[in-house]
Amino acid sequence: MGFNLTNGGLIRRENFIDGEWTPAKDDARFAVSNPATGDIIENVADSGAGDARAAVDAAARAFPSWRNTLPKERAAILRKWHTLILEHSDLLGELISLEQGKPLAEGRGEVAYAASYVAWFADEATRIYGDIIPQQQRGKRMSAVKEPLGVVAAITPWNFPAAMIARKIAPALAAGCTVVAKPAEDTPLTALALALLAHEAGTPKGVLNVISASRDRAVPAVAEWLQDSRVRKITFTGSTPVGKYLARESAGTLKKLSLELGGNAPFIVFDDADLDAAVTGLLAAKFRNGGQTCVCPNRVYVQTGVYERFSKLLSQRVAELKVGPATDPSSQIGPMINFRAIDKIARHVDDAVAHGAKVLTGGKTLPELGPHYFSPTVLADASADMVLCCEETFGPVVPLFPFVDEAEAVRAANDTPFGLAAYFYSDDARRIDRVARLLEAGIVGINEGALASEAAPFGGVKESGYGREGSKYGLDDYLSIKYICQGGLD
């Protein structure tokens, strides 16, 4: 089976600025390639600082009228966008799989996930309430109203080319903000296709602007946004070092920031857990997108009473996972995104083995399949001195760390600067309550490996960042509160 996307009319190669498809000012282009084969899919606009500025010019011009639309008018456009995304689900799913590498079922699943945020924030647009503050003095009325921040810059990663941009653009538009967006250089095509559908849904010109840029040119392009005082907010999903850079460099204009950064999620299996459920939950959480999500368990702590049995059950299931390209419907694990990813995974496995870990299954690249494949791997006897204990591997590798008691597991789980997701399996009600409170993470999964939902607040603590996406809290990051005090009343 092959993909035939060019006929679907969703492929765009130019920037989308002010309602027009526009080449980079100097006509520069860069290649987007298929991680399964390394073949070039398209050459897209390689934007520089001038293109980034043009996008802000358009968004700033569009803001005064967009903020004055009725919430139900914005909701109607978002609903139409949601419908169009779902109508193009097959093509978008293929496009995601083509440029990002995830198996087709996951590509289509991601389209539904992205669309769910658009539908959610269409509804939330009509629920932006303020407060009348109980009267404090005669003749005075005090109220608090919520207002859109202004131009929002959204910078998104490659691992969910549709969902991450949808869950930033949808709340921004719902709140009445206008947007300039830059998707990751590995996966700009899905973002450009979504911009096309947003335009068809009736988003007025300048309200949503999307530019693509290669790794090198993205730096001056984004720097333009960081320095421009018209950009009032940055929303970013990606690595912690880049998040810190954005916070530092935008400090000059004190922008509001939402940063969804790296994780190093622990997954704890207690002696009293249902082991089959724990294996199933771990497979769902760890091997989603081949291990390339910020919430994938990175360190698996297993209590010594069940360690041998759990290791065996898990390795059997992991060894059965089918690795292959998205074009093969039976593939469960696709290629990693690029050579840098493969190098990092191999480095983590080699370092673990050098420090005494045992490979129970996998542990190697699969060059016979293509340039970016790594076999699903289980490593026994992992320890805190291994690189994979403190760095996010972002690949299909499960290191198993034995532990003796609950206090030791919680201490080890929290012994990281990161705090995005944490998981544990236990059937003891008192332990469940205790451990959920003790884990330092923005998201906790108890006896569950699949946590993603548009209705839930997604975000971290510590160096995993701040801000929440999705849920009833997701709009707050795009709004400011204005206190209004009116005097002279009878």
Which residues are the active-site residues?
Answer: 260
240 binds ligand SIN (CB under 6 A): no
Q: 3-state class of 236 per DSSP? A: strand
Q: Residue 454 and residue 173: Cα distance in Å, rounded? A: 16
* From 32, 56, 114, 294, residue interacting with ligand SIN (rule: CB under 6 A): 294
Is residue 361 within the footprint of ligand SIN (CB under 6 A)? no
Q: How far is the CB of 108 from ligand SIN (least distance, A)?
A: 16
Q: Is 393 among the residues that bind ligand SIN (CB under 6 A)?
A: no
Burial 156-191 (b: 16+ CB within 10 A, else e): bbbbbbbbbbbbbbbbbbbbbbbbbbbbbbbbbbbb
Nearest approach in angstroms of CB 22 to ligand SIN is 29
- Residue among 119 and 360 whose Cβ is closer to ligand SIN: 119
Four-point Cα dihedral 230, 231, 233, 236, nearest 10: -170
CB of 182 to ligand SIN, least distance (A): 16
Q: Contacts with ligand SIN in 296-355 (CB under 6 A)?
A: none
CA distances from 85 to 78, 116, 200 (A): 10, 10, 11
The C-alpha atoms of residue 468 and residue 482 are separated, in whole angstroms, by 21
Residue 422 contacts ligand SIN per CB under 6 A? no
Work out which of 295, 326, 341, 479 binds ligand SIN, going by CB under 6 A.
295
* Nearest C-alpha neighbor of 177 from the set 74, 246, 51: 74
- CB nearer ligand SIN, residue 284 or residue 346: 284
Helix-then-strand count for the chain, H and E: 14, 22
CA distance 238 to 259: 8
CB atoms within 10 A of CB 154: 26
> Residue 233: how many CB atoms within 10 A of its CB?
26
Two tokens, residue 25: 């000012």
Taking the complex as a whole, how short is the minimal distance between the CB of residue 154 and ligand SIN, in angstroms? 14
**Residue 292 beta carbon to ligand SIN: minimum distance, rounded to whole angstroms:** 8
160 binding ligand SIN? (CB under 6 A): yes
Q: Are strands 208-210 and 178-182 parallel, antiparallel or unpaired?
A: parallel
Smaller CB distance to ligand SIN: residue 35 or 206? 35
178 touches ligand SIN (CB under 6 A): no
Is residue 293 near ligand SIN by the rule CB under 6 A? yes
Of 290 and 399, nearer to ligand SIN (C-beta) is 290
Smaller CB distance to ligand SIN: residue 203 or 289?
289
Q: Is 258 in the site for ligand SIN (CB under 6 A)?
A: no
Q: Which stretch binds ligand SIN (CB under 6 A): 156-164, 177-185, 227-235, 386-394?
A: 156-164
Name which of 15 and 293 has its Cβ closer to ligand SIN: 293
Minimum CB–partner distance for residue 163 and ligand SIN (Å) = 6
How many residues sit close enough to ligand SIN to count as binding (CB under 6 A)? 10
CA-nearest of 71, 230, 254, 249 to 151 is: 230
Nearer to ligand SIN, 359 or 452 (CB): 452
270 or 458: CB nearest ligand SIN? 458
Q: Determine the interface stretch with ligand SIN among 100-108, 137-145, 291-299, 472-480 (rule: CB under 6 A).
A: 291-299
Considering the complex, what minimum distance in angstroms separates the CB of residue 120 from ligand SIN?
13
Q: What's the closest the beta carbon of residue 467 comes to ligand SIN, in angstroms?
A: 13
Question: What is the distance, to the nearest Å, from the Cα of residue 290 to the centroid of all Cα atoms in its chain?
Answer: 15
Q: Does 237 bind ligand SIN (CB under 6 A)?
A: yes
Q: From CA 279, how far away is CA 271, in angstroms rounded?
A: 13
Report the alpha-carbon distance of residue 204 to residue 18 in Å, rounded. 9
* Residue 276 CA neighbour count, 13 Å, CB half: 0
| Site for ligand SIN contains 158 (CB under 6 A) | no
Stretch that binds ligand SIN, among 203-211, 269-277, 292-300, 307-315 (CB under 6 A): 292-300
Structure-token pair, residue 39: 């073949």
**CB-CB contact of 256 with 414 (8 Å):** no
Does residue number 418 form part of the binding site for ligand SIN (CB under 6 A)? no
Shortest Cβ distance from residue 155 to ligand SIN (Å)? Answer: 13
* Nearest CA among 101, 165, 50 for reference residue 372: 101
* Cα within 13 Å of Cα(125), Cβ side: 30
In the complex, least distance from residue 138 CB atom to ligand SIN, rounded to whole angstroms: 51
CA angle (265 as vertex; 264, 269 as ends), nearest 5: 140
Among the listed ranges 100-108, 155-163, 223-231, 478-486, the one in contact with ligand SIN (CB under 6 A) is 155-163
Which stretch in 35-43, 145-153, 288-296, 317-325 sits in contact with ligand SIN by CB under 6 A?
A: 288-296
Q: Which residue has the tokens 């790296």?
A: 262
Neighbouring C-beta atoms of residue 322, cutoff 10 Å? 11
Q: Which stretch binds ligand SIN (CB under 6 A): 41-49, 157-165, 352-360, 362-370?
A: 157-165
| 452 touches ligand SIN by CB under 6 A | yes
Q: How far is CA 45 from CA 12, 95, 156, 213, in A?
A: 10, 18, 17, 7
Closer Cβ to ligand SIN, 223 or 452, answer by number: 452
b/e sequence 18-30, b meaning 16+ C-beta within 10 Å: bbeebbbeeebbb
Query: Where on the chain is the footprint of ligand SIN (CB under 6 A)?
Result: 159-160, 163, 237, 260, 293-295, 452, 458
